[in-house]
Amino acid sequence: MRAVVQRVLEASVSVDGKVVDALDGPGLLVLLGVTHGDGAAEVRWLARKVWELRIMRDERSAADLGAGVLVVSQFTLYGDARKGRRPTWVAAAPGEVAAPMVEAFCRELEAVGARVGRGRFGADMQVSSVNDGPVTVILETPTARPRPDGTHRPEGAST
């Protein structure tokens, strides 16, 4: 999973000219991409990293402040434009795989106490934000490695 995390004063996401969710105060805007092989361990690791990341003012986290988080799925985070002029999206997980992963990420944030807003998966969205700082951080789950039982978890993940 890959996330672009922005500290914002406010943010909203609209579909067909109607706001579907918004942050009315300081918080985090998370643009979230899912790739092949992402699973529960990646969701858990990234959600906790976002929630506890100390990028709010005075070196505090969204968890410290109880700040809201607006999550917007964005498969284009896995675009590859190294060759030619047209990006390829083969590294992005297909929608039927990515949609439940994005929702699981949101639920994991809620489980640790976050107020979570959501974009609409697969929709043509308009995202508005007022960046604060600006502070923008790119996070990516560590490379998966096999466990002794054959399953995978991100390197560096504690569980």
Rg, Å, the chain Cα set: 16
6 is catalytic: no
CA distance 127 to 140: 21
Q: Which phi-psi region, left, alpha or beta, contains residue 114 (left: φ > 0; alpha: ψ -120 to 50)?
A: beta
> Mean pLDDT over all residues of the chain?
92
Strands 18-23 and 68-73: unpaired
Copy the structure tokens of residue 73: 């799925």
75 is catalytic: yes
Identify the pLDDT of residue 31: 99
Q: Which phi-psi region, left, alpha or beta, contains residue 51 (left: φ > 0; alpha: ψ -120 to 50)?
A: alpha
In a domain, 150, yes or no: no
Identify the pLDDT of residue 159: 45
pLDDT at 14 over 70: yes
Residue 119 per-residue DSSP state: -
In a domain, 152, yes or no: no
**φ/ψ of residue 33, rounded to 5:** -115, 145
74 is catalytic: yes
Q: Residue 25: which domain range?
A: 2-140
In a domain, 53, yes or no: yes
CA distance 157 to 153: 7
In a domain, 33, yes or no: yes
Vertex 104, ends 122 and 46: CA angle to 5°? 100
Marked catalytic residue, from 35, 75, 105, 141: 75
**Confidence (pTM):** 0.89
In a domain, 97, yes or no: yes
Marked catalytic residue, from 6, 35, 74, 141: 74
The pLDDT tens digits for 120-129 are 999 999 999 9
The pLDDT tens digits for 26-83 are 999 999 999 999 999 999 999 999 999 999 999 999 999 999 999 999 999 999 999 9
In a domain, 82, yes or no: yes
In a domain, 14, yes or no: yes
| Tally of domains within the chain | 1
Task: Give the H or E element holding residue 72.
Answer: strand 68-73
In a domain, 155, yes or no: no
What CATH number is attached to the domain comprising 98? Answer: 3.50.80.10
pLDDT at 150 over 80: no
